[in-house]
């Protein structure tokens, strides 16, 4: 069983992958591509503009990203904790930050700044 977080983009489409990677890299949280739409990928491979599903390697494990109309869904294991939970939240935050999106949480929908203040993120991404 997995758990997911949805990032919605009321102002338009989800941002392109290079924008997400840049937001994370600028803050010292690098990720690597593992799969693009069900096909193995090189770690530095850039997905096509019309990607539907990405598997992204992080220091804590792999997170799946599914693009749907008007949103991106970040998926990880239901028992995720520690670094994997941090990575899951980091990717949701990066999509919201890069695309003006909003993260749907159990306590309500949050913009990137509010999500960053409340989410369990890796130390490099915590407000400081």
60-86 pLDDT tens trace:
999 999 999 999 999 999 889 999 999
Q: How far, in Å, CA of 61 to CA of 69, rounded?
A: 26
Residue 72 φ/ψ, nearest 5 degrees: -125, 135
Nearest-5° Cα angle at 73, 68 to 74: 150
What pLDDT score does 128 carry? 78
3-state secondary structure of 89: helix
- Asked if 28 and 124 touch (Cβ cutoff 8 Å), the reply is yes
Stated pTM of the model: 0.96
- Asked if 120 and 110 touch (Cβ cutoff 8 Å), the reply is no
What pLDDT score does 1 carry? 67
DSSP annotation of 124 reads G
Mean pLDDT of 18-45: 97
Nearest residue to 63 (alpha-carbon basis) of 89, 42, 45, 37: 89
* Domain ranges (residues) in the chain: 2-121
- Asked if 24 and 99 touch (Cβ cutoff 8 Å), the reply is no
């Amino acid at each position: 069983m997995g758990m997911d977080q949805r990032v919605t983009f009321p102002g338009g489409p989800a941002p392109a992958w290079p924008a997400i990677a840049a937001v994370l890299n600028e803050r010292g949280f690098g990720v690597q591509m593992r799969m693009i739409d069900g096909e193995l990928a090189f770690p530095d491979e850039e997905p096509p503009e019309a990607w539907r599903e990405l598997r992204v390697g992080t220091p804590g494990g792999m997170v799946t990203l599914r693009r749907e109309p008007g949103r991106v869904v970040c998926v990880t294991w239901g028992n995720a904790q520690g670094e994997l939970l941090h990575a899951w939240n980091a990717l949701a935050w990066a999509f919201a930050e890069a695309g003006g999106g909003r993260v749907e949480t159990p306590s309500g929908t949050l913009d990137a700044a509010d999500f960053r203040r409340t989410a369990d993120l890796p130390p490099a991404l915590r407000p400081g």
